[in-house]
Structure 1
Amino acid sequence: MPLTRENTSRFVQAGATKVHYHEAGSGPVLLCIHGGAPGAFGWGNFGRNFEALSRHFRTLIVDLPGYGKSGKPEIEGPRTSFYAQVFRDMLGALDISSTHVLGLATGGSVGLKMAIDYPHVVERLVVINSPGGLSLFQPTPASAASHDYYGGEGPSMERMRAIMERIVYDKSVLTDDVIRERYEASVDPEFMARAPEGKGGKPGQSLEPLWQDLHKIEAETLVIWGRNNQTMNYDNALFMLNRIPNARVHIHGKCGLWVPFEKAAEFNQEVIGFLSVSL
């Protein structure tokens, strides 16, 4: 039976937060955490990788609190710490003692924070184009402000396309269906009212800096970057390589932020290899 959004959909109560996730496969657990942006959700970020990953791992693709079908709690304090605690509680509720963690952008920052605060929980870590390091050589490029998406005339397919064109190198991979799926998620009334990147997101509530604590990470770590990422330069990956004790880096040429989508086959192969091979 093919894996679909419907037949893999699950819910679990993680402390005070209801978390929605997709599950398939068996074996070592792999927790996949998506990035944060208008209309972002787990399946939208990793649905293209789910079948390949689930052949090797018990793969859990989560919706961050505030996104997708997960609960939309009021978040007090740093978001990264809040998310990390929610996913620790989620694993406990599922009777999972430890997991590999794979995170894109915001999701990778959450993985870093989990590895710092709960080292016994994280076995190996894959971080993709994620805040947490520092730029060594270049100023951070100016990025399109997500909150502007809801300003002025409001959300539209054209505005969503403009946002998504900034996260890929090859714009031809962005079909109308891909844009429409993300746009429809971005105009969900609850998302707009409560999500951090929604219309009602709290101004100034950002991810906390992690660079000073990266040396505390004990997990074997693979840092993946797109050389053509327009939001953060690839020298952030080199900073992480220097700071995380057991780290290695793979930088993809002709690739933007959304590596799991643009380079799906190669990405799947490198992640499966890294998580499966004895180091």
Structure 2
Amino acid sequence: MQVGSIKTRYWSAGDRGDPVVLLHGGGSSIEVWINNMQALAQHHRVFAFDMVGTGLSDKPIVPYSLDYQLQFLNEFLDTFDIPQISLIGNSMGGSIALKFAIHSPERVRKLGLVSSFGLGREIDFSDRLLASFPAIAKLMPVNRSVVRWVLNSCVYNLNSVPEEWIELNFQRFNLPGQRKALISLLTTNLNWGGLRPEVFMPIVQQLDRIKAPTLVIWGKQDAIIPVAHAYVAAQKIPNSSLHIFEQCGHWAQVEHPEAFNSLVLEFLM
């Protein structure tokens, strides 16, 4: 479908209940919700989309700031005429959900954060390296082994990554504009020290403005964003609860789908 000027791939499931929008992380795609959509759709109208610059959605040459992605989320909701939602955001999707909840509190019924970006400066070394030296990302050959390494870094149990995702993500990375979009996303939001202060500080300083009941979910062994950030959210967001998954990395919804779905469905009631 067309969202503003962006040709956008989206999924929807369910025809009853309150709307729920699932936001994946930077450089990822809606496939990370494949084990969650139908379970949540038993009680809700569920939407997920490839964020602009990722997956099969368009990849314009722009600075991929959180504000740009937030604008795109607003346009997506306007396209479907959805006035109020529950948001579940993973990684960078979490930071976009946080900004939406801060700036449009009347539109957020419930807020779910899954290993959310934007709650502190720390992030994994490889992202900091590529953000600081984008020439590496421009020139580095990407084969299926590199893709496997990237996907494996998001989980604790390597067997939880479907084998077909290797080929899928290899093909996606080589789509026109994808490498430039990823480099823009990294350099806009990160530097050698981690998240740029101007990216995460406005979020952290305004967490107490969030009105929606919030569920914070994290993997104890998250190698991308440290579990310490989960406690920042749980302590600063007024009406929040925290669940830490054991033996789990950055993708709790992928590694522990049944427990994740049960937890989220109970929260959304």
- TM-score normalised by the chain length of structure 2: 0.87
**Residue 45 of structure 2, aligned match among 54, 58, 61:** 58
**CA drift at 1:141:** 6.1
Alpha carbons of structure 1 residues 220 and 203: separation in structure 2 relative to 1, 3 Å: closer
Specify whether residues 132 and 274 from structure 1 end up closer, same or farther in structure 2 by C-alpha distance, changes over 3 A only. same
Identical pairs, percent? 27
Query: What is the deviation of 1:221?
Result: 0.5
Does residue 233 of structure 1 match 2:221?
A: no
2:21 matched residue in structure 1: 31
Structure with higher helix content: 2
Moved more, 230-239 or 174-183: 174-183
Distance 1:152 1:79, change over 3 A: closer
Question: What does residue 20 of structure 1 align with?
Answer: 9
Alignment of 1:249-264 (within 5 A): 249-264=242-257
Is 1:171–2:144 an aligned residue pair? Answer: no
Relative distance call for 1:52 and 1:180 in structure 2 (3 A) is same
Query: Is the CA contact (8 Å cut-off) linking 1:88 and 1:121 kept in structure 2?
Result: no
Q: Cα distance 1:141–1:153, how it changes in 2: closer, same or farther (>3 A)?
A: closer
2:212 aligns with one of 209, 219, 222: 219
Give how far 1:132 is off: 2.3
In structure 2, do the counterparts of structure 1 residues 202 and 80 end up closer, same or farther at CA, with 3 Å as the change threshold? closer
Which one is further off, 218-227 or 203-212? Answer: 203-212
CA offset digits 1:196-215 (Å, max 9, x no partner): x15xx366201721111111
Q: For residue 188 of structure 1, what is the aligned residue in structure 2?
A: 175
The CA RMSD over aligned residues, in Å, is: 2.1
CA contact (8 A) 1:45 1:260 kept: yes
Question: How many matched pairs?
Answer: 253
Alignment match, 1:266:
259
Judging changes above 3 Å, is the alpha-carbon distance between structure 1 residues 141 and 104 closer, same or farther for their aligned structure 2 residues? closer
Gaps of 5+ in 1: 1-10
Q: Which deviations, in whole Å up to 9, do the C-alpha atoms of 1:69-94 show, x marking residues without a partner?
A: 22223434x71112112212221221
User: For residue 82 of structure 2, what is the aligned residue in structure 1?
Assistant: 96
Residues 1:69 and 2:51 aligned together:
no
Unaligned runs of 5+ in 2: 190-194
State which of 147, 172, 188 in structure 2 corresponds to 1:205: 188
TM-score, normalised with respect to structure 1: 0.84
In structure 1, what is the Cα distance between the partners aligned to 2:214 and 2:252?
A: 17
1:117, distance to aligned residue in structure 2 (A): 1.0
How many angstroms apart in 2 are the aligned matches of 1:158 and 1:151?
18
Distance, in Å, in 2 between the alignment partners of 1:175 and 1:48 is: 11
Deviations 1:9-42 (Å, cap 9, x if unpaired)? xx142x34343211110221010111013xx211
Question: Distance between the aligned counterparts of 1:55 and 1:180, measured in 2?
Answer: 30
Equivalent residue, structure 2, for 1:3: none
Q: Report the equivalent of 2:192.
A: none
Distance 1:239 1:202, change over 3 A: closer
Tell me, yes or no, if the aligned pair for 1:108 and 1:130 is still in contact at 8 Å: yes
